[in-house]
Amino acid sequence: MTRISELLAVGPTYSFEFFPPKNDKELTTLARTIAELQPLEPSFVSVTYRGGAESRQRTFDLVSGMLHTTRLNPMAHLICVAHSRLELADILVSLRKAGIENLMALGGDPPEDPAAAAGELAFAVELVELARAIGGFSVGVAAHPAGHPRSADMRSDRDFLAAKLALADFGVTQFFFEAAEYEDLVRDLRQRGVDTPVLPGILPVTSLSTMGRLGAMGADAPPWMQERLRAAHERGGADAVRKEGVELATELCARLLDAGVPGLHFYTFNTSSATREIYAALGLGPAAG
């Protein structure tokens, strides 16, 4: 296993994000996706985690399985919400004992159940500090180009993010659709004296239904993008929308790469076709070498 901090020190990284399957059908889909993406030789892959014992175990099992049965370099997500400090320390120790060295430290959304404990750690930066105390991890944190939904204003958002990144090895952004958003984020961080690598998060939007859910997921599509996708639907239906969405994501990636980003992180939703098409269009992957 290679620490992500070491990979970033050498050059750009290319990575994929998966979520743990909830049932056998989802497991079959994910297994197929992993088999299709593994030949692209990503720098690392990350596995999300929503909290709770069941989700925690699924994430652990998937990351551990990837580590021991594939050529992939996995990173486990961990959130503060609904955990005591001792529980989080136990999870971190278990990850290290399993050989897992890459960690995404997140605050997490407030629990939906009002009776559920909020947890002892309120912010991701506290989880980063705990991971550092345990030792042995390359630690990443989340960044929001448009600001965290719970931030009071952009200035305070950037201040908190800068403090978090100063303790972490790297950041990964929420998905966005205009390169200027990422460029503004990096500029704001540098003005605060922080140059920790931040990987742009890429989400190919391949259907109108997905486009309609983007706001709830974290970032609305800008009007010009919505117009292009709707115009594609009028021209050729769902297939044309999918093609247009892949082209939009490819255009964004190309601009980011031209700007010298430290890598690209793809949100796959446990499918592979859009990511593989973007890779091919950009000339990425082992075949390009």
Cα torsion through 81, 86, 88, 93, rounded to 10 = 180
| Cβ–Cβ under 8 Å, residues 25 and 276 | no
- Residue in 88, 179, 103 with CA at minimum distance from that of residue 136: 103
Q: Report phi then psi at 17, rounded to 5.
A: -120, 135
26 catalytic, yes or no?
A: no
Exposed, middle or buried by CB within 10 Å (0-12, 13-18, 19+), for 191?
A: exposed
Cα distance from N-terminal residue to C-terminal residue, the chain: 22
**What is the H or E stretch that residue 106 is in?**
strand 102-106
The rounded distance, in Å, linking the Cα atoms of 134 and 114 is: 31
**What is the H or E stretch that residue 75 is in?**
strand 74-79
Catalytic residue among 6, 17, 54, 247: 17
Cα separation values, 34 from 19, 54, 65, 66, 100, Å: 12, 22, 12, 9, 18
- Catalytic residue positions? 17
